[in-house]
Structure 1
Amino acid sequence: MALRVETALMGPDTDQYAGQGQNRPTLARIAELARQMEDIGYDGLTTPESGHDPFLPLMIAAEHTQRVRLGTNIAVAFPRSPMVTAQLAWDLANYTGGRFTLGLGSQVKGHNERRYSTAWPSPPGPRMREYFLCLQAIFKSFQNPDSPTYFEGEHYRFTMLPPFFNPGPIEFPDVPLYAAAANPYMARLSGELCAGLRLHPIATFRYTREVILPAVAEGAQRGGRDAAAFDLIGAPFMAVGKNEEEVEKAKNALRKQIAFYASTRSYHTVLDHHGWDGLGMKLHGLSVANKWAEMPALITDDMLEEWAVISTYDKLVDTIRAKCAGAFDTVTFVLLGETRDDLDMQREIVAKLHQD
């Protein structure tokens, strides 16, 4: 089973998840990493919205790469109007020669209201549906300025595009849309309207097979689309190392990352699916109390096995194939710590995963 493989460009590291500081990217470092990752053989590079804008680094990556696919993983939708997002995506599609993919997510109510100063007037699902439909209408209007396609919904309206403000047709107008999802509604929505789904790593392998995949298939049927052409991108947590000692060290670091995400109430359905009742609210309580350092201890080894790819380098390909079989078409390497700097290991693993 051949897999496409992506990795993050300037993604957050372990200390950031534990509230202990941010990395500070530079233009030169972004360019260097983009060239390195393309040379290693990755099929895609993605940028998160984790303290930095996710679109800006892709301009640098576009300039310093030729082949690799570039995408947001993910940009937060609601703080940006559909037109603002469409203009960014259209220019990146043009500048990359069609290599750009637009990954969007809703984020949660608290972050929208309190961090982004963005209103939360209603449940996010129906608004995301209209957001994607509005984007598609704007893209069609950019490509066909003489015959604009307008959109009017309950939450978003696009009914004006004077020629002066239309960027005009480009060679690669079909911008692939990806929804971020960890729940059935967004999975159905992505199956109905999007090229693919960027699965949040909080979704365990079992949850993906038992909840997400059936929801995608239902959405594809609703939209009259071929589910086989759908690109489900998994981003499983990973704890890897050269030997068992390094793997144990990586597991302890990974607990910080998982505890950070599992504290978010919107993701507690995943925990409840496994019968881990009460864990989510314990983690949430500690996060609200700013006790980030106490949270990782609540993530047990059994939980890690459900969430993560755990392996030494020599068994990593077989472990990834076994965990991802029948679930993902594309896998995103979520590498932390020293594994990010082991370029030879990454080159070997990517090459092997490309093989049938």
Structure 2
Amino acid sequence: MSLRVETALMGPDTDQYAGSGQNRPTLARFAAIAREMEDLGFDGLTTPESGHDPFIPLAIAAEHTRKIILGTNVAVSFPRSPMVTAQVAWDLQNLSGGRFTLGLGTQVKGHNERRYSTPWTSAPGPRMREYFQCLRAIFASFQNPDKPSYFEGQHYRFTMLPPFFNPGPIEHPQVPIYAAAANTYMARLAGEMCEGLRLHPIATFRYTREVILPAVAEGAARAGRDMSAFDLIGAPFMALGRNEEELAASKEALRKQIAFYASTRSYHAVLAHHGWEDIGMELHRLSVAGEWAKLPGLISDDMLEEWAVISTYDRLAETIRAKSLGLFSTVVLVLLGEARNDTELLRETVAKLHLD
């Protein structure tokens, strides 16, 4: 069985998770990475919203590639109205020749209110449902200007689209929507309404199998959908090295990344599934206190094994396949440091993951 393989365009690196350092991208760098990742055989190239806009790089990537799928992993929904998101998604779908996928996530209340200056007006799940419904209505109206498909809900309202503001039909009007999920409500919603689900890396392999997959299936059954084409995208944490010494150093770096996410209370259902509730609360306390350097020490080796692909380079594809086959349809290579720039490792790993 083969796996589709994605990677990130200018994703965050280790220091950024520890509270220091940030990528300084350029248009030329976006173009070079996009061309290289397509040449290496990757099926998909994604952009996060981690300090930079997630849509702009994909326009550059679309210009400099021909076949690789381009997507947001993920854009934050609520700070953008459905119309704002629909317009940029429609343009990227058109500019890429139908290669764009729209990955959306809600972010947590604190970030919406205090970082994005966006009111948190209700529980995120029902609001996200309407967001997807409104997006579909807008896309349908773009494609069929003479017969607009309006939407009125509790949280969103789309009832006007003068011809001057309608971008008009495009050749590939079906924009695939992917929900970001680490909880059961969003997983059910993805199964019911979306083309796929982008798992947050905080979801361990066991949590995904025992909690997320049943929720997706429940949502699909509710909508009477066939799950055979549903794309479950896993983005497991990874600790890699050429030898055991490098691997040990990589594991230490990975503790920073995992601790950063595990400090967020919205993700503590994952920790609770493993009996790590107390550790989660201590991580959160330290993050609120700004004591970021203390967080990684709370992530044990046993916890790393549950969350991550841990491997030397020569066994990377084999280790990913062992943990991912039968669980994910697509896997994201979340590479940090030196491994991110090892083109031969990337080419070989992608080729092996493509094998049936």
The two structures have a TM-score, normalised by structure 2, of 0.99
Give SS of 2:128's match: helix
Give SS of 2:93's match: helix
For 1:108 and 1:124, how far apart are their aligned partners in 2?
Answer: 9
Residue aligning to 1:95 = 95
Structure 1 residue runs of 4 or more that deviate by more than 4 Å after TM superposition: none
Alignment RMSD (CA, Å): 0.6
Counterpart AA for 1:340: R
Residue aligning to 1:322 = 322
For 1:182 and 1:326, how far apart are their aligned partners in 2?
Answer: 19
For 1:83 and 1:163, how far apart are their aligned partners in 2?
Answer: 15
1:241-280 correspondence to structure 2 within 5 Å: 241-280=241-280
Residue aligning to 1:27 = 27
Counterpart AA for 1:321: R
Give SS of 1:295's match: helix
Kindly indicate whether residue 210 of structure 2 is the aligned counterpart of residue 210 of structure 1.
yes
Q: CA deviation at 1:277?
A: 2.1
For 2:264 and 2:196, how far apart are their aligned partners in 1?
Answer: 24
Q: CA deviation at 1:316?
A: 1.3
CA deviation map 1:197-235 (0-9, x unaligned): 000000000000000000000000111111121000000
CA deviation map 1:37-60 (0-9, x unaligned): 111000000000000000000011
Residue aligning to 1:301 = 301
For 1:323 and 1:197, how far apart are their aligned partners in 2?
Answer: 18
Give SS of 2:277's match: coil
Counterpart AA for 1:64: H
CA deviation map 1:262-284 (0-9, x unaligned): 00000000000001121111011
For 1:279 and 1:136, how far apart are their aligned partners in 2?
Answer: 41
Residue aligning to 2:80 = 80
Kindly indicate whether residue 12 of structure 2 is the aligned counterpart of residue 12 of structure 1.
yes
The two structures have a TM-score, normalised by structure 1, of 0.99
Counterpart AA for 2:338: E
Residue aligning to 1:49 = 49
Structure 1 unaligned blocks of 5 or more: none
CA deviation map 1:85-136 (0-9, x unaligned): 0000000000000000000000000000000000001100000000000000
Q: CA deviation at 1:77?
A: 0.1
For 2:199 and 2:276, how far apart are their aligned partners in 1?
Answer: 21
For 1:153 and 1:326, how far apart are their aligned partners in 2?
Answer: 38
Structure 2 unaligned blocks of 5 or more: none
Counterpart AA for 1:271: L
CA deviation map 1:278-335 (0-9, x unaligned): 1111011111111111100100000000000001111111111111122100000110
Counterpart AA for 2:126: P
Counterpart AA for 1:317: A
Counterpart AA for 1:65: T
Give SS of 1:278's match: helix
Q: How many residues align?
A: 356
Counterpart AA for 1:341: N
Counterpart AA for 1:14: T
Kindly indicate whether residue 192 of structure 2 is the aligned counterpart of residue 186 of structure 1.
no
Residue aligning to 1:136 = 136
For 2:35 and 2:235, how far apart are their aligned partners in 1?
Answer: 22
Give SS of 1:214's match: helix
Kindly indicate whether residue 61 of structure 2 is the aligned counterpart of residue 61 of structure 1.
yes
Residue aligning to 2:346 = 346
Q: CA deviation at 1:23?
A: 1.1
CA deviation map 1:15-69 (0-9, x unaligned): 0000012110011111111111111000000000000000000011111111100
Question: Is this contact kept in 1: 2:150–2:158, CA < 8 A?
Answer: yes
For 1:349 and 1:66, how far apart are their aligned partners in 2?
Answer: 22
For 1:23 and 1:316, how far apart are their aligned partners in 2?
Answer: 26
For 1:326 and 1:9, how far apart are their aligned partners in 2?
Answer: 27
Residue aligning to 2:120 = 120
User: What is the identity percentage for the equivalent residue pairs of Structure 1 and Structure 2?
Assistant: 78
Kindly indicate whether residue 154 of structure 2 is the aligned counterpart of residue 154 of structure 1.
yes
For 2:13 and 2:150, how far apart are their aligned partners in 1?
Answer: 42
Kindly indicate whether residue 300 of structure 2 is the aligned counterpart of residue 331 of structure 1.
no
Residue aligning to 1:284 = 284
Give SS of 1:118's match: coil
For 2:266 and 2:96, how far apart are their aligned partners in 1?
Answer: 34
Residue aligning to 1:171 = 171
For 2:144 and 2:223, how far apart are their aligned partners in 1?
Answer: 24
Give SS of 1:203's match: coil
For 1:95 and 1:48, how far apart are their aligned partners in 2?
Answer: 20
For 2:295 and 2:40, how far apart are their aligned partners in 1?
Answer: 35
